[in-house]
Amino acid sequence: MVEHAQEALFRPVRAGNAFEETVERLMQSIRLGVVAPGERLPSERDLATRLGVSRVTVREAIRSLQENHYVESRRGRYGGTFVREVLPKSAPGKEFGDLHDVLTLRRVLETGAAETAAGRSLGPAERRGLRARLEEASTSALVEYRRKDSRLHLAIAEATGSAALTAAVAESRMRANELLDHIPLLEPNLAHSNAQHERIIASILDGDPAAARRAMAEHLDGTASLLRGFLV
């Protein structure tokens, strides 16, 4: 029996119970900026269907987010559950997963996504979308930078046309953000980051896969070494 591959295949079949997983997903959609502050989440019935859990479980998850001041709910038609304008700082507790693990997977997924996106012929809507996210990220205030940054990176993953790849990037990014929340965000880094973003998007729009990969790799290696520096 191949000993080491077992660790991957015989890992736990589920990350947590249905409630915890649901909270995690909703939290991701907020923290990654897929649902922005002030915007409404899909209805409970809708979420229950999409997430494949019961409405009861969705409600418990939403209640948990309410209690932690991430969302607030309003009843009645045109009511719903809305993301609050001011979001609480993420709890600092959490153990760091294996740093190498997280960064390795992120590098593979995101450089691959950039390369793949650059190799496709993108439609006008996709091109506009990428440019819009780039603009958002570059003009965003410090406090909302992480969210806008994630939206840009997710848009790149989406541009590959692979839902599975997009999902993988979203998950890996979430794990990376947990780490990034522990290091300071400085103006110079941000400016540098924006310049790199521009090169990545330009390469993708130009249809230059190799350049897109290189630019993304450089971008990620920057934050990776920042991380390794700050987290011992």
Partner DNA sequence: CTCCAAAGGTATGTCTGCGAGCCATTGGCG
Partner DNA sequence: CGCCAATGGCTCGCAGACATACCTTTGGAG
Binding site for a second copy (CB under 8 A): 1-2, 4-14, 18, 21-22, 25, 28-29, 32-36, 39-40, 42, 47, 50-53, 98, 100-102, 104-105, 107-109, 111-113, 115-116, 151, 154-155, 157-158, 160-168, 170, 172
**Tokens encoding 196:** 């790199």
Q: Give min distance, CB of 97 to a second copy, in A.
A: 8
- Reduce the DSSP state of residue 69 to 3 states and report it: coil
11 binds DNA per the rule CB under 7 A: no
The Cα 12–Cα 153 span in angstroms is 29
Residue placing its CB nearer to DNA in the complex, 44 or 198: 44
181 binds DNA per the rule CB under 7 A: no
The Cα 62–Cα 72 span in angstroms is 9
Please, which residues bridge with residue 83 across strands?
Answer: 71
**Tokens encoding 161:** 């046309």
**Tokens encoding 230:** 């700050």
Residue placing its CB nearer to a second copy in the complex, 162 or 196: 162
CB under 5 to 8 A by kind: which of a second copy, DNA, none does 109 bind?
Answer: a second copy
In contact, 31 and 148? CB cutoff 8 Å: no
Q: Which residues contact 70 (CB under 8 A, 6 or more apart)?
A: 27, 30, 83, 84, 87, 88
Q: Give min distance, CB of 59 to DNA, in A.
A: 5
73 binds DNA per the rule CB under 7 A: yes
84 binds DNA per the rule CB under 7 A: no
Of 24, 29, 34, 43, the one binding DNA (CB under 7 A) is 43
Of 4, 11, 77, 89, the one binding DNA (CB under 7 A) is 77
The Cα 219–Cα 231 span in angstroms is 19
CB under 5 to 8 A by kind: which of DNA, a second copy, none does 214 bind?
Answer: none
**Tokens encoding 168:** 């993988």
To which residue do tokens 């153990």 refer?
95
Terminus-to-terminus CA distance in the chain, angstroms?
A: 36
Nearest to 119 by CA among 213, 10, 214: 213
Of 36, 56, 108, 142, the one binding DNA (CB under 7 A) is 56
30 binds DNA per the rule CB under 7 A: no
Contact string (CB under 7 A) for DNA, positions 212-231, x = contact: --------------------
Of 53, 130, 157, 201, the one binding DNA (CB under 7 A) is 53
